[in-house]
Structure 1
Amino acid sequence: MTLEEPVSTITPIITDAAAAPSASYSQGIVAGRLVVTAGQVGRDAATGELPATLAGQVESAIANLKAVLAAAGLDLSHVVKTTCFLTRIEDFPEFDAIYRKHFSDPLPARSTVGVVLAGDLLFEIEALAVKPEEVA
């Protein structure tokens, strides 16, 4: 299958290694070679606890993202686009430094926006990844 071909199968990604969805959505979707993740927040997958700090939430959210990708047989190197959400846009430099520790060159395309997130959430990340042809 190439990216130009129609998608014949859409498969949800479900893993206990990432925080469980808190509403009606899949943790991710595999559609052909495309893998699209739901927004991953910093809740601990095992306990559901949310770190109090931005750094803790970013690290935990990226760990959840890695777990969803791993359930599809991928890792962060397959990510081509992320969208990141910060409740305090002034926290961008701290977030960016942590993000850069996890993603290597070539860095994915990225959008980062300031938003109001539910409860005590300070950060959320979603991603679009592409499976290599030999993995598809």
Structure 2
Amino acid sequence: MTTIVPIITDAAAAPTASYSQGIVAGRLVATAGQVGRDPVTGELAGTLAGQVESAIANLKAVLAAAGLDLSHVVKTNCFLTRIEDFEEFDAVYRRHFSDPLPARSTVGVALAGDLLFEIEAWAVKPGDAA
């Protein structure tokens, strides 16, 4: 049976509800949605670009707590409150992810409060093929 281990790190914004920042299950790592809050102050970046940058920084911190980085990500799910901001979001995203780019879904949604963006990811720890 695969052991399920929560990922908990102060280097990423703390959860605001009942969830883990991420879960490690064997070689698979699933992250919770990361938003553009500063992990120290809890402040939300005021622009879309700022929220995308901060959310990806939080994603990197959660992955790092599992011994991974963005190169291990195989899939992201991205959520925009204004789908018309896709190009601005994509430009910031592309600065952080390199080829081969992860598979990605991007959807327009209603997010709580002043959130403009959220990202969650699936990553795979290196090792022998299953």
TM-score range (shorter-chain normalised) is: over 0.9
Aligned partner of 1:95 in structure 2 is 89
Query: Equivalent residue of 2:122, what SS?
Result: strand
For 2:2 and 2:123, the matched residues in 1 are separated by: 18
Moved segments of 4+, more than 3 Å: none
Aligned partner of 2:22 in structure 1 is 28
1:85 aligns with 2:79: yes
Aligned partner of 2:8 in structure 1 is 14
Spell out the pairing of 1:1-136 with structure 2 (5 A cutoff): 7-133=1-127
TM-score by length of 2: 0.97
Aligned-CA RMSD value: 0.8
TM-score by length of 1: 0.93
Q: Identify unmatched segments of 5+ residues in structure 1.
A: 1-6
Query: Equivalent residue of 2:12, what SS?
Result: coil
1:2-52 per-residue CA deviation (whole Å, 9 max, x = no partner) reads xxxxx5200000000000000000000000000000000000000000011
Query: Equivalent residue of 2:107, what SS?
Result: strand
Shift of 1:59: 0.1
For 2:45 and 2:30, the matched residues in 1 are separated by: 25
For 1:67 and 1:119, the matched residues in 2 are separated by: 23
Query: Equivalent residue of 1:132, what SS?
Result: coil
For 2:10 and 2:115, the matched residues in 1 are separated by: 20
The letter for the 2-side match of 1:120 is D
Identity %: 87
Aligned length: 128
For 1:100 and 1:16, the matched residues in 2 are separated by: 26
For 1:92 and 1:98, the matched residues in 2 are separated by: 10
